[in-house]
Amino acid sequence: MQHYDIVIVGGGMVGSALACALNQSGLSIAVIEKTAPQPFEPQQPLDLRVSAISAASASLLKDVDAWSSILAMRSCPYRYLETWEGHQSNLLFDSQEMGHQQLGHIVENRMIQLALWQQMEKYSSIDVISGQAITKISRSQDGYQLAMNESELHCKLLVGADGANSIVRQTANIGVTSWDYAQHAMLINISTEQAQQDITWQQFFPTGPRALLPLAGNNASLVWYDSPARIKALSQMPINQLKEEIIAHFPNRIGEFTVDNAGAFPLTRRHAQCYVKEHLCIVGDAAHTINPLAGQGVNLGFKDVSALAKVINDTASQGGAWWQLDVLERYENQRRRDNLLMQSAMDVFYLTFSNESSPFKLLRNTALKVAQQSSWGKKQVMKYAMGL
């Protein structure tokens, strides 16, 4: 039996960031990840899973020394964000108005994970265990025990960073409130004739938004939200036919392009009924999943990381019992309301823009026009989205 202070199940973006942020506590940490990320090679095609990384998330990644490695691999800063529905309802955010060089970066999830894994390898207090399945998680008197194919671990604190279907959350009998959105999302990687772009845009349609996220080089990720049946039909089309559908249904802003890769994802909102129990807590998608229409999912997860690492690091540095419930509750108290607020804001967008009635349409287009005129209002919205 190997003993650790903390075992983190899930070495995705959130679990790895947490391990790195806890390194300064001097505690021993194991990160268990079932699938190690494929190493980076510059010639590799771009991954489908990408995230819009806010300034607050970039700052966390800088604090754990992972940001420069991400920039050295692949990323794309964007300076403008534009959203609209009808004619002349365009709402444009410009990083200059915010006094920032960019509003954020679009980064492939694997690049973020890889940069964090490189950091974890440098720390002697962190062991990364991958390729082994967890066969049993059980409560012990002073923590948790985990049985795996080839080893057994014991820890004072078990952290679930194991994504939306978290086994840690299920083992601890933490329930979720959840519902499936009536939309699925299709991610489509394209290469464009245009050089690398610095704008991300999104047009709302009653069936769901259609968006472009710029990627490194002359690449972009198109996101097509639509009914599950329509997304299923699009997923089954040959590439050429899919391209014709994009030309017919996306805003006429893409120019010449080639479809490189595509995949579909169901969209579910989940919120765990609590984030902490004795000797256990959950973070990131294990605790909450959100409609991705404003690209906030992992940004919320990174905010969880900052909050949890701070309460543990502060308590450990004073020689306190950092694993105790009252310490962990401080993390939950800081994060739960914020996560709920962002989830609810996304649902308001989702419901408002999915409504086809004419008065609703007039109201939301007027709201977009009014918002465009209010530089103070735009700044507040953008500050919130950037996590500032």
Ligand X SMILES: Cc1cc2nc3c(=O)[nH]c(=O)nc-3n(C[C@H](O)[C@H](O)[C@H](O)COP(=O)(O)OP(=O)(O)OC[C@H]3O[C@@H](n4cnc5c(N)ncnc54)[C@H](O)[C@@H]3O)c2cc1C
Least gap, CB of 311 to ligand X (angstroms): 19
Q: Least distance (Å) from ligand X to the CB of residue 76? A: 12
Stretch that binds ligand X, among 4-12, 137-145, 203-211, 351-359 (CB under 6 A): 4-12
Among 14, 211, 311, 385, binds ligand X (CB under 6 A): 14
298 or 307: CB nearest ligand X: 298
Among 80, 123, 250, 265, binds ligand X (CB under 6 A): 265
Q: 4 has which bridge partners?
A: 155
The one-letter amino acid at 139: R
The 8-class DSSP code of residue 312 comes to H
Distance CA 318, CA 213 (A): 44
Which residues have CB under 8 Å from 343's CB, separation 6+?
269, 271, 288, 290, 291
- Tell me whether residue 5 or residue 47 sits nearer to ligand X (CB atom): 47
Is 13 an interacting residue with respect to ligand X (CB under 6 A)? yes
Which residue from 7, 8, 9, 309 is in contact with ligand X, where contact means CB under 6 A?
9
Six-digit token string for 88: 């002349």
Tell me which of 163, 209, 214, 387 binds ligand X, using CB under 6 A: 163
**Cβ closest to ligand X, residue 11 vs residue 143:** 11
**Selected range binding ligand X among 160-168, 192-200, 305-313, 367-375, rule: CB under 6 A:** 160-168
Quick one: which of 5, 47, 85, 162 contacts ligand X (CB under 6 A)? 162
From the list 260, 283, 359, the residue with the least C-alpha distance to 18 is 283
**Residue 50: strand pairing partners:** 108
**Using CB under 6 A, which of the segments 33-41, 175-183, 330-338, 354-362 binds ligand X?**
33-41
Among residues 297, 308, 322, 364, the one that binds ligand X under rule CB under 6 A = 297
With CB under 6 A, what is the number of residues at the site for ligand X?
31
**Using CB under 6 A, which of the segments 13-21, 75-83, 313-321, 344-352 binds ligand X?**
13-21
| Binding positions for ligand X, 298-357, rule CB under 6 A | 298-299, 301
**295 part of the interface to ligand X, by CB under 6 A:** yes
At 233 the three-state DSSP class reads helix
In the complex, least distance from residue 134 CB atom to ligand X, rounded to whole angstroms: 5
Spatial distance between the Cα atoms of 31 and 12, rounded to a whole number of angstroms: 10
| Residue from 134, 137, 262, 281 in contact with ligand X (CB under 6 A) | 134
Backbone torsions φ then ψ of 213, nearest 5 degrees: -115, 125
Phi and psi at 198, nearest 5°, equal -120, 25
Residues numbered 94-123 forming contacts with ligand X, rule: CB under 6 A: 109
DSSP E strand boundaries for 21-103: 29-33, 50-53, 76-78, 80-84, 91-94
Q: Is 77 in the site for ligand X (CB under 6 A)?
A: no
Told to check if 284 binds ligand X by CB under 6 A, we report yes
Closest CA to 216 of 70, 63, 98: 70
The nearer residue to ligand X, 53 or 316, going by C-beta atoms, is: 53
Min CB(304)–ligand X separation in Å: 8
Is the distance from CB of 8 to CB of 71 less than 8 angstroms? no
Tell me how far apart the alpha carbons of residues 388 and 374 are, in angstroms, rounded to a whole number: 19
Nearer to ligand X, 262 or 316 (CB): 262
Q: Which two tokens stand for residue 10?
A: 């899930």
Question: Can you tell me the distance from the alpha carbon of 376 to that of 388, in angstroms, rounded to the nearest whole number?
Answer: 15
Measured from the Cβ of residue 241, the count of other Cβ atoms closer than 10 Å reads 12
Binding span for ligand X by CB under 6 A among 3-11, 135-143, 343-351, 370-378: 3-11
Residue carrying structure tokens 């489509």: 188
Regarding 197 and contact with ligand X (CB under 6 A), the answer is: no
Stretch of residues binding ligand X (CB under 6 A), selected from 65-73, 88-96, 156-164, 233-241: 156-164
Torsions phi, psi for 280 (to 5 deg): -150, 140
Kindly provide the b/e burial profile for residues 310-337, where b requires at least 16 CB atoms within 10 angstroms of the residue's own CB.
Answer: ebbbebbeeeeebbeeebbebbbebbbe
Smaller CB separation from ligand X, 27 or 137: 137
Element containing residue 201 per DSSP (H, E): strand 199-203
Does 296 engage in binding with ligand X (CB under 6 A)? yes
Q: Which residues bind ligand X (CB under 6 A)?
A: 9-15, 32-35, 51-52, 109, 134, 161-163, 167, 185, 187, 265, 284-285, 292, 295-299, 301
